[in-house]
Structure formats: structure tokens, C-alpha cells
Amino acid sequence: MSAPKIQTCPVCGVKIMTGVVGGDRVMFSAGPPGTRARLWARVCQYVEKAGCINPQGGAQAPAKADFYRPDAPQ
Ligand SMILES: [Zn+2]
């Protein structure tokens, strides 16, 4: 088991805890923790700046069914 690591996105200022069972956890400044997909949906998709550590929602694809995903990995 590896210890969880916390990364902070220099663009969004959001903390992402990696190495956690069940997937990465995003620590928002307010509200309960969420997933990278939620972070992306809430913040990163609007930021679109180089240096964002969550440019596409990470490995956790957005849960929205209306996203166009030509080659969904799962
Ligand atoms: Zn970001």
C-alpha cells in the first residue's frame, strides 16, 4: 500500500489526493470531497490553462452521459 499523496493544482488551487482506495479524491475549498471528474466539470473545463493537473478529468471520465466519447476506455 502506498500512502496517499496530495497534489495542488497551480491553476485551480484545488487539492487532489491520489493513491486513495476507490480513486482520487478532490478536496474542494467548500463542500464535500469529490472526484476528478467533478472537479473538471466544476472548474477545469472553464480554466483551460496550461499547468492544470486535471485537464480532462483525469482517468475518471466525466459521468455525464451526454459527453461525446468516441473511444471510451471502459
Ligand atoms: Zn486544475
pLDDT in tens, 3-61: 889 999 888 888 999 888 888 899 988 888 888 888 888 888 888 788 888 877 666 55
Using CA of residue 19, residue 22, residue 70, residue 52, what is the dihedral sign? negative
Distance CA 2, CA 70 (A): 33
Give residue 13's domain range.
5-47
How far apart are the CA of 50 and the centre of ligand 1, in A? 9
Distance CA 13, CA 63 (A): 23
Question: What SS3 state is found at 10?
Answer: coil
How far apart are the CA of 72 and the centre of ligand 1, in A? 22
Q: Is 73 within a domain? A: no
Distance CA 66, CA 69 (A): 9
Q: Is 59 within a domain? A: no
How far apart are the CA of 47 and the centre of ligand 1, in A? 7
Give the pLDDT of residue 1.
59
Q: Is 40 exposed, middle or buried (0-12, 13-18, 19+ CB in 10 A)?
A: buried
Domain count, the chain: 1
Q: Is 23 within a domain? A: yes
